[in-house]
Structure 1
Amino acid sequence: MKINKRASRALAVTAGVAAALLAVTGCAPGNNTVAAQPTGTVSTAAPTSDITIKIMDETGFPVTSNLTDEFTKQYPNVKFDITRDSFQNLLANTPRLLAGADAPDLIRQSTIGTTVKDGLLTNLDPYFNAYGWNKFSAGQLAGGRITADGVRGEGSLYQFGIGFSVTGLYMNKTIAGQVGITGMPATVDELEADLAKAKAAGVLPIQTGMQDGVGTFVLQALINQYGDKQKLIDWMFNKPGATINTDAALQGATKFQDWAKAGYLPPDVNAINYTTMVSNFTSGQGLFMWDGNWDAANVDKGLGTGNAEFVLMPPATAGGKHVAMGAGNTFTIPAKSKNADATAFFLNWIATNDKARQIVVDVTGSSPGGDPTAALPTVASGSLIEAALANSAKVAADDGFVDFMANSTAGIYQGSLQPNEQLLLTDKMTPADFLTATQAFYEKDLAAK
């Protein structure tokens, strides 16, 4: 996911908000099957020799640069070499990078795929024990756990999150006022009524794109509001027998297609990518945009502070609990890392050092994670980052965080969701056929493990 520029900071996050938002959850780790522990002991001492930690990161995720700069100020003997590539290229090339003789020490890895089975990642359980990461809320690390059988959410820890995201709706308040919308919708039906009102006034209701699959945010936000979220979590975490062919998914996919048919999406939606979507919205094109907290500062800058709202996707029924996509921006330590202990020390520092935690909030708008009793970062009063942190608190309080469908298998984002949603939005595939195709690809991808 793409992250944007640093926001100013002026107001401390309230204790109640922070305590809730740090409880990022999917489902708690289990102890059924645990992969083999790495041999030998680990060190939690600060590195003392002159070393260079190599990081392979995602283009548009500058927080690692800010964090490494600060870390080197505190530990001058440690330098960093950061290489970046697109999200899509990282998905495709990570196994090769991990297996190479010149593997990085830390790599942005959103999807584990077969890399644990293939022995390409460092098992982080010894660091979990040595650093006392049991003080973190269990849900923070759940998505980074995997069993020997490939089931996520349980077993040993392999991924560590740098900032925890939350997704929702950005609304252009100027456009809302022009079409007679005075408040944010409280239900899906109210949201749909606002979309119709915008369309009737000649305004684009939804700014989104499907060239690179970013419209999946809209689809999943709808699916999240129908049925039992645990069924979707089980599917994304690869539980045996889990399926996307559910009533909730059918309702969501049908609604998504209906919105396209009604003209609520851009007419050239399949030609719009993520960057263009955000640029279009921040230039005043569209009433709503489905996106994450990582664009809070960007929207504030583009539309001006106070001219946008960032709220959670409304539930299907009034007063219902909030369900939203949210996950850590996850990194792994390759098994071939030459500086595993120092890299783990760096990760622990990000979650525990006051300056590092402030950097995570300033640059990403995300919760820094870590111990819920840790000192609280500060944010600018009235900013969208402040709203994003409050939204995280609401979802956490409702136990409503779910992972992203795109992380379900290593290939499903580019191989199935992106191309088939393009067909769905152009009425060339029925919602039922879309789900059947998604499940078929999912099972094929998992069978390749």
Structure 2
Amino acid sequence: MSTTIPSDPVTLTLAYSNDPPTQTLIDGFTKKHPNVTIKPQMTPFNDYIKSIKLAMSGDAAPDIAQYNPGAMNSLVPAGLILDLGPWAKAYGWTTKFPPSTLEILSSDKSAKQFGTGGLYAVPGGLSVVGVYYNKKMVKEAPKTLAEFEAAMQKVKDSGQTPLMLGALQVGGFHLWNALLNVTGNVADYRSWVYGKPGATIENDGARKATQMMADWAKKGFFPASASATADADALASFAKGKSAFLVTGNWGATAVEKELGDDAGFFLMPTPSGEPAKVASGASVAYAISAKSKHPNVAAAFLDYLSSPEAAKIEFDGGFMPVDTKAELGAEGLRGEIAEVFTPVAQSNGIVPFPDYASPGMIDKLTPGIQGVISGKTSVDDYLKSLQESWDGHHGS
């Protein structure tokens, strides 16, 4: 283990799925280290989990691979990716990366329990889910959950759509998760996602969040076609001014800003008390190092570069929130509003992982489950029970 980059020519391969500003980060790093060449290998997201499992166990495994919790369930136990502990210590990563972002990338050797054991990846860009709003339809951001409901009712009474929702894909459970962050106990939720023994999602906070979604659907706050609407279509509709609100991540900011300009605003899901939210759902684009890499020290130097102020600018320009939460971004407008609410959350360890991390099959319960809840076909208790059954099946009840 070393933090020194050799002066001889070194070639690394980096496997990733579409989205992250990977190429620009590669360019930034190789400009500093001209003897290093990093060859990117991009795979569409839907095929990435299958392909990366095969690639990492093959003879020509990539040196660096984008972390994915689904794939890591088999890669960590098989010893195919390195525990980054030695480099974390040498580079001081616990002070360079927000602690909550490293927590979800740590696991035991069975890759069943997160937030413990070894560190298997570091983030190269962060994301946060919040509420976009159209300032032409809503004058100012609601401060409490009750004010948010009242604002949606007012929009509904005026004959317009309060909240655009893409429940065909992840949009439905992103909204549910955002509500759960402010109605439930965050420590209990983290324990459940991390796979801690005895954890459960069948609790009062989750019931409250689920009931709220069912109630909002009954009140007509979502379009009737929400369950058949893709996330990209929901985003496009909101950007065209067809609803007052949309719950999604910072990755939608560029499209919204392009259409709505200064009429677009952003806030985190408000709390019942009106105190500023201290938590928000988010994830990171993260990278792991192959156990088969001939140049793990150079790969680790690239991972360290991801936390630099220079990389922060690249990450932010690429549509992500930067890993270096103290970096001066000079952001204005909508992206400035997102950075303003995200920074205190990131710095206070308030980024919570998405619920599909909780078990490999969880996403197949979350998406149809929320569709059932908003259509009135699935009861609150049945929905939560189905999530817990998936959790129990993976972690053992």
Question: After TM superposition, is the score higher than 0.5?
Answer: yes
Structure 1 residue 171 corresponds to structure 2 residue 171: no
Cα 1:303–1:338 change in 2 (3 A) is farther
Counterpart-to-counterpart distance in 2, 1:391 and 1:320: 9
Deviations 1:101-143 (A, max 9, x none): 3322222223132432222211101111222223335334112
Q: Letter of the aligned partner of 1:361 in structure 2? A: F
Residue in structure 2 matched with residue 123 of structure 1 by the alignment: 83
1:355 matched residue in structure 2: 310
Using the TM superposition, give the Cα deviation of residue 43 of structure 1 relative to its aligned residue in structure 2, in angstroms. 2.3
3-state SS in 2 of match to 1:55: strand
Per mean C-alpha deviation after superposition, the further-off stretch among 331-340 and 150-159 is 331-340
Give 1:301 shift: 1.7
**Matching of residue 427 in structure 1 with residue 386 in structure 2:** no
Deviates more, 1:439-448 or 1:101-110: 439-448
**What is the aligned partner in structure 2 of residue 82 from structure 1?**
40
Quote the residue 1:364 is aligned against.
319
Q: Do the aligned residues in 2 keep the contact of 1:145 with 1:159 (CA within 8 Å)?
A: yes
Identity across matched positions, percent: 30
CA distance in 1, matches of 2:55, 2:171: 25
| Alignment match of 1:280 (pick from 217, 221, 237) | 237
Aligned-partner SS, 1:364: coil
Q: Is the 8 A contact 2:126 2:285 kept in 1?
A: yes
Unaligned stretches of 5+ residues in structure 2: none
Letter in 2 for 1:89: D
Alignment of structure 1 residues 16-415 onto 2, 5 Å: 42-61=1-20, 63-111=21-69, 112-136=72-96, 137-148=98-109, 150-176=112-138, 182-304=139-261, 306-319=262-275, 321-352=277-308, 354-369=309-324, 376-381=327-332, 383-396=333-346, 399-413=349-363, 415=364
In structure 1, distance between residues paired with 2:49 and 2:273: 37
Instruction: Report the Cα offset of residue 314 of structure 1.
Output: 0.1
- Displacement, 1:85? 3.0
Q: Does structure 1 retain, via aligned residues, the 8 Å contact 2:130–2:266? A: yes
- Determine if contact 2:132/2:245 at 8 Å carries over to the other structure: yes
Q: Which has a greater percent of helix? A: 2
- Offset, 1:187: 1.2
Where 2:73 maps in the other structure, the secondary structure is: coil
The amino acid across from 2:388 in the alignment is: Q
Moved over 4 A (4+): 396-399
Q: How many corresponding residue pairs?
A: 393
Aligned residue for 1:377, secondary structure, equals coil
Q: Which residue of 2 aligns with 1:16?
A: none
Distance 1:57 1:439 in 2: 31
**TM-score using structure 2 length:** 0.92
Q: 1:53 to 1:278 in 2, by over 3 A?
A: farther
Measured at CA, do residues 135 and 257 of structure 1 come closer, stay the same or move farther in structure 2, by a change above 3 Å? Answer: same
Higher RCO (CA < 8 A, seq sep 6+): 1
Q: Distance in 2 between matches of 1:157 and 1:213?
A: 27
2-side partners of 1:124 and 1:207: how far apart?
41
C-alpha RMSD over aligned residues: 2.2
Which SS does the other structure have where 2:241 is aligned? Answer: coil
